[in-house]
Structure 1
Amino acid sequence: MNTEKSYYRYWGKAEKDGSGYHLLPYHCLDVAAIGWFLLNPEKPLCMELAKRLDIKPALLRVFFVFCLALHDLGKFARAFQGLKPELAPDLVMANPQMSYSERHDSLGFLLWRKVLSKQDKDNGDLNWFNKIEACIKIVTGHHGMPPKQSGINLNTFFENEDEEAAKNFMVDICNLFLSDFDPSPLFDNIFQKQLKTVSWQLAGITVLADWIGSNTEYFDYYGCDKQLDLKAYWDTIALPSAQKAVSAMPEPATTRNFESITDLFPIIHKPTPLQEYAANEPLSDGPQLFILEDVTGAGKTEAAIVLAHRLLSAGLADGLYVALPTMATANAMYERLGRVYRRLYDQNNTPSLILAHGARDLSEAFRQTVAVPENKSDGVAYDKPYDSEDEELSASAYCNAWLADNRKKALLADVGVGTLDQALLAVLPVRHQSLRLLGLRRKVLLVDEVHAYDSYMQKLLDTLIEAHARQGGSVILLSATLPKKMRLQLVSAFYRGLGKEAPEIHNTAYPLATHAPASSDLEKHIDTREEVKRTVSVIRLDTEDAVFEQVQSAVNKGRCVCWIRNTVKAARESHTALSQSEWMDKHHLHLFHSRFAMIDRQRIENDVLKRFGDQSGHEDRRGHVLIATQVVEQSLDLDFDVLITDLAPIDLIVQRAGRLCRHIRDGKGNRLLDHDAKDQRSKPTLYVYSPDPTKGADENWLKNHQKGTQAVYPHIGQLWLTAKLLCKGRFAMPGDARELIENVYGNEPEDEVPEEIRLASNIAIAQNQAQAGMAGLNVLKINKGYTWSSGDWDEEIRIPTRLTEEESITVALAKHKDGKLMPYAANIHNSWAMSIVKIPEWEWKKARGKITQEFQKIIEELKAEVKFLRWLEVFPLTEETQHYYKAAGGWQPQGGENP
């Protein structure tokens, strides 16, 4: 021990109650030791990063571990030390004149830039330190955001003694790790250029190292009374502890060799043409992009998983993340993938499958898969991966508790399913984005319903695809309705990530598979299976009365019906009108929209899937009517005998039509499972509630007919073109798919739109351009490297992954009982979270005025007691306010429009 070293008088970690502390030099070595194992030069991660930097893996390891040991330089600030002024008499004394008003990450970087990088030391020339500023920026940004680069006066935070202690620590750390180090490779132009792109992965490693290195389960607190010199602590404490901590992380699962589609999906006896393509298309070397366009029911998801398995099996990827448009569709895919994902991996592995979105803890299916020790959680242990009798996979999914304990670790799992938002956060300037980007590294990024995003999200997705290709990741994109110009945009983004010129995109066939780079044809026309080839008749309905007549006619014939309305208000009104009809059995009428409390929404979604899903039969469906919004539009496997839809853009009309006679059934609606069976119901007819495009085509053409639709889909020109196309009275799938899409979204059809409608559409066009512009401002400038100037950094809750036209408020519903407020969803796990509902801001402002002062005081007390509620609104359901919410109808605007 060297008691003359002043840096032993600084604490780095401390108990909240001041009962114990950990010396700063030791914590720095703890984190460095984690980095030592994460950057094992024999592991793929270190080898890949070193290759991109054009240096040897061993050199990368030792140099970056040295940098990690300096990650907390800012804690040498007397202002930081003053946060715990009375920890121990041997520590430096607090300076009451120094306020801790800047984070230690920025303080550490500026200390390096202004003081430490300029020093020459007696033990050697360290002038080369000023060449590694980018690396110091990475490690000092270990709390998930780059440090500030200016605007801080160090004298208000550091005393001279502090700077001297930091200087001595830096020199000793240099001697510990870099005694035989040749810094010349760091000056190479390739290293300096590539460091900007590699910096994002190194930043993710830094965040991970700091998280694990701060875990007191593995790193005990050593105060002044247990001093060891740095070398002794590194050898006897830091390295052994880090080895135990890193060994607790889940090991990547070993991929199983791809054999065939039926090996992966035993229930598939006859693969679809798209699935045959996925199994046989020659793979290229390196990152690859696939865009699969085919009709609903063509087996796109299975085809994508086949491609992902082949990429994994070929050593071209290390994992899979499936990105869906909504939490509901992600939940459905999670359960679907949970039954098959283990077939991607060797028999003796337990790969982790994780659900990644903001409300994943509300998913019972996910909670039951988290394998943790009995004394740590109520989760249940995982099943063995193979059943001993028939060697079929267990239906139970498995997620390692280390991955499940923090949503920001989610993308580190072998297989992830979640919303696209979780992946998009990797390219937004939000805290810990680097960990998400690291988690996606060398994974197959599978994005479903890629057409379903607005201009803002499309711009973010382009950047994500570019960044993913740059770090060696492959991408699979799925769509039933993708405009050509969007396909070109996606291909161009991927090639920018590869640093190459994008090829020409010209094929207009449908279905179509695009593979880039490809060993042969970039674009291939794919046939589709006979069962999904069909012609859909289209009948336009002018009035709501005409819609009700069709509903009644279908119900009288024992058919099940769905009417997709474009707004929640319209859905409520139609549901109310039907409930008042004498011919409508109230027990056969259902309502499904987005403004239900989570507990009710889950119940309704499960009922909808049971009643109208793949396994439903005649008795489940007969005479039942569902009034729904866009919640049934994507990724839910629903099948209706009769489908009515409000007018919407053509791609959504096609998407909605995919819920019409989706499965093969007999005349009563029972499933027919024989592979050569034919649907025995009436020919599919889509009813479209729409104004006549040939009459009154001005800016009020739609507003006068269908209130609310234009607010949801403001590009009225696209709606008019859609209505005009549907006047043909039919469309054939897949034959007409490309023509339908291009005749609405292509550049040429805009000339056909009446002038007054075209002028009204200019507002929507301007909004789209503004959205794309906002995305361009928000998204990270990846080529600038991990630096404050690469984005306007903020907390993730303030940098959106998607824009909404209507501001919504998250409200927790509460019941009043015995003078207290209890969660609406009582006696279940996450009862408060299951009680939340999102409602428009204007509706909330009206409802909030009904809360009495007495209840406002009770709500304040409740928020002080329940941490989850502190940033939410709470609405008490009392005798005076209970009409605002009904379990069967959801949130009622203006206080009580009973469904």
Structure 2
Amino acid sequence: MLKLFDFWGKADRNGPSWHPAVCHMIDTGIVAKEILAVQPINFQLQLTSPFQNAGQNALDVLAFVSAIHDIGKISPGFQQKSKDLCECLKHRGFTFPQTSEPKHGRVALVVLKKSLQEMFGCSIEEKNALARVLAAHHGVFDESLSLDVGDHAWQEARRDILTLLARTFGITSLASVRLDNVPVLFLLAGLISVADWIASNEAIFPYLNAPPKNIEQYIADRRIIAQKFLNRLSLGTTVETEKGFHELFDFENPNACQQATLNVSKKLSHPMLVIVETPMGSGKTEAAQAAYASLAKRVGLRGMYCALPTQATGNAMFSRMRTFLARLHGEQTAELHLLHANADINPEYEQLKLKSIGEKDDSITASGWFAAKKRGLLATYGTGTIDQALLAVLRVRHFFVRLFGLSGKMIILDEVHAYDAYMSEEIYSLIGWASRCGSSIILLSATLPEKKRTKLVQAFYPSVELPTGLRYPSVFGVDLQGTVVWEPVALKDDHLAIDPIIVTPDEKLTVMAEKVVNLVTKDGCAACIVNTVAEAQDLFDLLKTRFPEEELMLFHSRFTLERRLAIEKELLEKYGKGNNRPRRGIVVASPVLQESLDVCFDVMLSDIAPFDLLLQRAGRLHRHTNIRPPHLQDRQMFVFLPDLLHNKPDFGWSGLIYFRYLLDRTGRLFFKNDQYPQILVKLPGGVSPLIEQVYGEDDIALDKIRELWFEEREGAESADGYFARVATIESVHDQGDEPGYLSRLKNSADEEMTPSTRVGRQRVLLVILNEGDETAILTREKEKELFRKTLATDNPRLVHYFSKLPQLAEWRESPLLRYCQPVFLTNGIVQAGESTLAYDEIRGLSILQKTGGIK
């Protein structure tokens, strides 16, 4: 038997240490079993039920299956990768043909298709499915090819090792295994990959450099190592007691939205889809969190991920989630991670990770193991951008690891109305696959067009019919048994006054500035949202001549990361809940302000935008209970738009940001009898009819230009939907019961390449430096310091110019900076091709063309 340990499985690239392949396979099987052992019973059963076997423990069967993932390493192509370690095999007579397949995953696919049937009695369908899952542990479902996997001696060695592993885990047969459920196959692939990653870490599972002296003792020791490590990661965290609402939040009782969400979720079976559709500021986030606390105790959830549209909203939610989890779990340790591309430079997240090293003095922790690429969703709790969740259904490497990370949890998707056709298609796919992987999903929205609401529900349960009496505001839910529950949300009647102001693009900013001056002459807090960064900068410059600098703030996407984080913090400190707001203040912003930032203003001025986004922006109006100036007691918004009586209304830059058809339909809400009167939106009852007037279908005849705008929108959304369907794995409703789908699934792309979670213009990442600044990366902290100075732009001239420049040599190996270009400023200015760039901490990046105009 000792000769079976001559085959190496792990080795140091730059040292003599190595680990027998058999030992690594045993380690992986042990880790897989221990991961499942600490999971809630419902999730455990989902993965173990296909492996129920008379006389055999299902967890042991699954451990054995996980262990044999690396049987492909018992092959000439793999073993000859280490000349030193394969010498003993050569002395034993093993041959090493040059034609041998070097990729052990492919070898495993070929070998296991035969061995699983001949040795363990798997049926044809099950052995094909299981072989593909086991061979995919490096991230890709590979094609079955004709390969050189070694002669008879290699075959016998593999057979002996499979026999040894079966005996080790107490397995005699796999004849009763049934693998006809693709979601379970994806979960199994995810579990095996995660177990392999942990077992491959020499710092956790030290290499032996020799066969084990006693196999039974070796297994016992490795099991203890696995249990201690998983305990350190708090993977077994569960909600042990159901807490009262007042224990979780800063108020005694749930409001109408929150109570309806709790009522609906309690009447459904897990997994479920719940849509909370209520006005801005009605406590939807707390409603979802409360539903999680209740459901987690009732059915045993593995955790929660809160997915938001932007990094800014993810950052803001991180603090709220941390507070909620500390109250929910008390002294019980729980992992929480911030997940987006720039999470590592978020100060609060960095602080939590540092505190989590060594002795933990906080019940909420952030272990470094989860911070590595692809691992974030494996933590019990997370909050961040929706992109992290969408990667679970894109055709990228290890998508199934992310799907495994989300499975058995609650997924909260905020602002679901705000996503374009491409991302919406991805969301439909995520809802389908995640629900079949045991996840309950809560969708939060202030406004949903009827057509989109129907698509979201049918992504979960295709044959369900929405109740005819369903009305806004409400909480709607459906489970996988087809049970439909909904409850209206009784809210106090309110109103939103929207005043249209007709302007040409050339005069818009001047008129807007004058309006701000008139509205907050003495006091009041105003928000001005324009649709482009350049216009936000220009409006800010106009207002600088009328107000003291300390009363103004500018917020947009063309600040460096560190500056943007500082602005977000200042915004929340000045205009967030419970803070002492300034007597007078004006925030000028691009649409980044309309997302889920919990800030509040007395009055708002806005560029024209699709009506649902106008309402989303208005969600920052009178959001909190504050003392307001007498003249700003009513919730009022001023919207600037062109004259629609013109044959071809000029929407300016806004027509390049949003579909002109939707801008026109929105504008016509204000147009009555050749005039533009104020709209008084009754809240909540008047919202849905107005949304349907913009997004619904009607028989109104369109003139030629509006017909072109309609076709423009239809064509673009149709194309985006098609490209999203190509980018994602096929619908669970089409392929969920077809194990053969794995043989057709092409997912060899890396997430840094295409496909992408979003579509849009190409961007370039710039690192804003001063002339003479050091660019060498001497430490990890220096790398982060440089990355904090990055900003992204999609300006076509800049993208063209910087994409032609060579990569900075010292950044080529940097995970953070390898796609960045340095920009060295002299006195705050630098020439970049045809453009002059200027940067300062107040205005951000300004782009000036040769003519001197700002873009």
1:405 CA displacement:
3.4
1:183 CA displacement:
3.6
Q: Residue 117 of structure 2 contacts residue 127 of structure 2 at CA under 8 Å; is this kept in 1?
A: no
Q: Which residue of 2 aligns with 1:356?
A: 339
SS in 2 for 1:185: coil
Distance of 1:304 and 1:469 partners within structure 2: 17
Q: Which residue of 2 aligns with 1:609?
A: 572
Q: Which residue of 2 aligns with 1:394?
A: none
Q: Residue 258 of structure 1 contacts residue 313 of structure 1 at CA under 8 Å; is this kept in 2?
A: yes
The one-letter code sitting in structure 2 at the alignment partner of 1:132 is K
Change (3 A) 1:682 1:506: same
Answer yes or no: is 1:169 the counterpart of 2:161. Answer: yes
Match runs of 1:790-805 below 5 Å: 790-805=745-760
1:322 CA displacement:
1.1
Answer yes or no: is 1:713 the counterpart of 2:668. Answer: no
1:590 CA displacement:
2.6
Q: Residue 429 of structure 1 contacts residue 779 of structure 1 at CA under 8 Å; is this kept in 2?
A: yes
Q: Residue 473 of structure 2 contacts residue 488 of structure 2 at CA under 8 Å; is this kept in 1?
A: yes
Q: Residue 612 of structure 1 contacts residue 621 of structure 1 at CA under 8 Å; is this kept in 2?
A: no
Q: Residue 294 of structure 1 contacts residue 300 of structure 1 at CA under 8 Å; is this kept in 2?
A: yes
Distance of 1:660 and 1:147 partners within structure 2: 53
Answer yes or no: is 1:573 the counterpart of 2:566. Answer: no
SS in 2 for 1:215: coil
SS in 1 for 2:395: coil
Q: Which residue of 2 aligns with 1:341?
A: 325
Q: Which residue of 2 aligns with 1:185?
A: 176
Match runs of 1:820-859 below 5 Å: 820-821=774-775, 830-840=784-794, 842-845=796-799, 848=802
Change (3 A) 1:524 1:612: same
Answer yes or no: is 1:874 the counterpart of 2:825. Answer: no
1:105 CA displacement:
1.3
- Which deviates more, 486-495 or 52-61? 52-61
Q: Which residue of 1 aligns with 2:423?
A: 457
Answer yes or no: is 1:510 the counterpart of 2:476. Answer: no
SS in 2 for 1:775: helix
SS in 2 for 1:747: coil
Aligned match of 1:742 in 683, 692, 711?
692
SS in 1 for 2:468: coil
- Deviation string 1:93-121 (CA, Å, 9 cap, x unpaired) is 898973888532123212334x646767x
The one-letter code sitting in structure 1 at the alignment partner of 2:294 is R
- Deviation string 1:68-90 (CA, Å, 9 cap, x unpaired) is 22211222332322332234742
Matched positions, count: 825
Q: Residue 559 of structure 1 contacts residue 621 of structure 1 at CA under 8 Å; is this kept in 2?
A: yes
Q: Which runs of 5+ in 2 are unaligned?
A: 672-676, 832-836
Q: Residue 285 of structure 1 contacts residue 316 of structure 1 at CA under 8 Å; is this kept in 2?
A: no
Answer yes or no: is 1:690 the counterpart of 2:641. Answer: yes
SS in 2 for 1:893: strand
1:160 CA displacement:
5.4
Distance of 1:776 and 1:269 partners within structure 2: 45
- Deviation string 1:732-761 (CA, Å, 9 cap, x unpaired) is 22121011111111112x635434212222
- Which deviates more, 430-439 or 50-59? 50-59
1:49 CA displacement:
2.5
Q: Residue 830 of structure 2 contacts residue 838 of structure 2 at CA under 8 Å; is this kept in 1?
A: yes
Distance of 1:402 and 1:587 partners within structure 2: 39
Answer yes or no: is 1:139 the counterpart of 2:134. Answer: yes
Q: Which residue of 1 aligns with 2:70?
A: 72
1:487 CA displacement:
1.3
Q: Which residue of 1 aligns with 2:716?
A: 767
Match runs of 1:271-670 below 5 Å: 271-281=254-264, 282-315=266-299, 317-345=301-329, 347-370=330-353, 381-383=360-362, 398-401=364-367, 404-496=370-462, 501-517=463-479, 522-529=485-492, 533-542=494-503, 543-544=507-508, 545-579=510-544, 581=545, 583-617=546-580, 620-622=582-584, 624-668=585-629
Change (3 A) 1:510 1:213: same
Change (3 A) 1:78 1:894: farther
1:325 CA displacement:
0.7
1:233 CA displacement:
7.0
Q: Residue 810 of structure 1 contacts residue 872 of structure 1 at CA under 8 Å; is this kept in 2?
A: yes
Change (3 A) 1:777 1:176: same
Answer yes or no: is 1:808 the counterpart of 2:763. Answer: yes
1:228 CA displacement:
5.0
Q: Residue 26 of structure 2 contacts residue 165 of structure 2 at CA under 8 Å; is this kept in 1?
A: no
Q: Which residue of 1 aligns with 2:35?
A: 38
Q: Which residue of 1 aligns with 2:188?
A: 202
1:289 CA displacement:
1.9
SS in 2 for 1:339: helix
Distance of 1:522 and 1:752 partners within structure 2: 38
Distance of 2:53 and 2:535 partners within structure 1: 63
Distance of 1:52 and 1:129 partners within structure 2: 15
1:92 CA displacement:
4.1
TM-score by length of 1: 0.84
Distance of 1:432 and 1:546 partners within structure 2: 53
Change (3 A) 1:827 1:232: closer
Change (3 A) 1:159 1:193: closer
SS in 2 for 1:354: strand
Aligned match of 1:218 in 192, 196, 204?
204
Q: Residue 447 of structure 1 contacts residue 476 of structure 1 at CA under 8 Å; is this kept in 2?
A: yes
Distance of 2:728 and 2:424 partners within structure 1: 11
Q: Residue 449 of structure 1 contacts residue 480 of structure 1 at CA under 8 Å; is this kept in 2?
A: yes
Distance of 2:405 and 2:617 partners within structure 1: 34
Distance of 1:131 and 1:849 partners within structure 2: 49
Match runs of 1:99-114 below 5 Å: 103-113=103-113
Match runs of 1:46-61 below 5 Å: 46-51=44-49, 58-61=56-59
Match runs of 1:210-249 below 5 Å: 210-224=196-210, 226=211, 231-232=215-216, 235=219, 238-249=222-233
SS in 2 for 1:874: strand
The one-letter code sitting in structure 2 at the alignment partner of 1:592 is F
The one-letter code sitting in structure 1 at the alignment partner of 2:439 is G
Answer yes or no: is 1:891 the counterpart of 2:845. Answer: yes
Distance of 1:82 and 1:707 partners within structure 2: 65
SS in 1 for 2:180: helix
The one-letter code sitting in structure 2 at the alignment partner of 1:771 is D
Distance of 1:106 and 1:712 partners within structure 2: 46
The one-letter code sitting in structure 2 at the alignment partner of 1:14 is A
Q: Residue 261 of structure 1 contacts residue 279 of structure 1 at CA under 8 Å; is this kept in 2?
A: no
Distance of 1:245 and 1:401 partners within structure 2: 11
Change (3 A) 1:611 1:247: closer
The one-letter code sitting in structure 1 at the alignment partner of 2:561 is M
Q: Residue 260 of structure 2 contacts residue 487 of structure 2 at CA under 8 Å; is this kept in 1?
A: no
SS in 2 for 1:253: coil
Distance of 1:726 and 1:56 partners within structure 2: 71
Q: Which runs of 5+ in 1 are unaligned?
A: 386-397, 669-678
Q: Which residue of 2 aligns with 1:817?
A: 772
Change (3 A) 1:279 1:221: closer
Q: Identity, % of aligned pairs?
A: 26
- Deviation string 1:824-855 (CA, Å, 9 cap, x unpaired) is x998882122111111152424654998xxxx
